[in-house]
Amino acid sequence: MRQTKNSSYTKMFSVLNETEDFFEVDILSRIQEDYLKYHENNLVDYMRLLNKELLCPNCKSIEIIKYGKNKSGSIRYKCKSCGKTFSSLKDTLFFSSKINLKAWFAFLECILSGSSTLEACIVAKISPVTGVEWMKKIFKTLNHYQENIILGKKVYIDETYVHEDSSKIYFLDDIGKIKKVKKQPRGISRNKICILLATDEDKSIGYIVCHGRPQRKRIYNICKDHLIKQSTVIGDIDNSITYTAEKMELKRIMYKSNTYEAYENLEPIDQLCARFKFFIDKHRGFKKKFLADYINLFIFIDNEKKIEKDLYKTTLKLLKMMFEYNKSSK
């Protein structure tokens, strides 16, 4: 997203033309130099990092030259063979972006390392508004990430809860009338969103189930696409999980909640729930209509840490996924 004329950076740089203070000019000049380093878009940088060769989309020629910029500030190219002009970012998430790959990479690296959106914006030197828009692009990329995840033979399952937005909190009074309240009521109610988490220790899944206590049919509909017939379901004694195991004819091992036996044997799912709670708390304040997107992002981060411990390679993988995302085909 392009920086507006009223952005804090634009106001800061305008002082350079007005001030005569040597130290102020020196400091602001350094900030401006650092800022511009992150905000010069260059398609060649994208191609080089992603191991893609810049080709003419019309004749596939490699004889390409720069040919000015479009209205959004992105560089256009001209093919010397056929004479066509183009931008290879068309129909991609980066098509109208004026901010270069260094800022994108810094932003993604922060998000994948567990930083909040605001912290990532500070590192990438972009505005919080731009950061929110970039998060939406990440969400689009990961929208179908969990669809093909199949868990293994030992599957740990549990539910956890997230508070509903404060504007939607309500309770029933003594006569059954709905009242809105500012303070979150205690216990499990429709003011809390039930999240199903499952893991086989190598990979995990997470989905929104419902508001309030878990509904067994919804949990079954989620699990049936991610479990195999050889799976053994492990969890605490829960009617919804038992229902899923019986209907899918799976082996099950259940432990009574809040016992030493459960604490000792359900560690993988307990740790997953704890990591999820920490992740959500780090991004607290977002609208719950984006909760499913944040769950997808958490599952991607958690799974990739088990596959690839190198943050650089994980960031590069997500960047490639975003680059290959075609808006016109979705």
Decide which of 313 and 75 is more confident: 313
> How many helices (H) and strands (E) in the chain?
12, 10
Q: Looking at residue 50, what is its pLDDT?
A: 52
Buried b / exposed e across 242-261, counting CB within 10 Å, b at 16+? ebbbeebebebeebeeeeee
User: Which token pair is 253?
Assistant: 């091992």
The domain ranges of the chain are 8-38, 154-285
Q: Looking at residue 238, what is its pLDDT?
A: 77
Q: Which helix (H) or strand (E) holds 199?
A: strand 192-199
In angstroms, the CA 315 to CA 109 distance is 6
Q: What are the φ and ψ backbone dihedral angles of 235, each rounded to 5 degrees?
A: -175, -175
In angstroms, the CA 36 to CA 138 distance is 24
DSSP-derived letter for residue 289 is: G
3-state secondary structure 113-178: CCCCHHHHHHHHCCCHHHHHHHHHHHHHHCCCCCCCCCCCCEEEEEEEEEECCHHHCEEECCCCCE
Q: Which amino acid would we find at residue 293? A: D
pLDDT digits (tens, 9 = 90+) for 240-294: 888 888 888 889 888 887 788 888 888 899 999 999 999 999 998 888 889 999 9
Using CA atoms of 34, 40, 46, 49 in order, give the dihedral in degrees to the nearest 10. -30
Which homologous superfamily does the CATH classification assign to the domain defined by 154-285? Ribonuclease H-like superfamily/Ribonuclease H (3.30.420.10)
Decide which of 201 and 140 is more confident: 140
Q: What is the pTM of this model?
A: 0.75
Distance from the first to the final alpha carbon of the chain:
21
pLDDT digits (tens, 9 = 90+) for 209-232: 988 888 888 999 999 889 988 889
Mean pLDDT calculated for residue range 31-51: 54
Give the pLDDT band (50/70/90) at residue 1: very low
Q: Looking at residue 303, what is its pLDDT?
A: 93
pLDDT digits (tens, 9 = 90+) for 165-205: 655 555 545 444 555 555 555 666 667 889 999 999 889 99
Cβ neighbour number for residue 172 with a 10 Å cutoff: 11
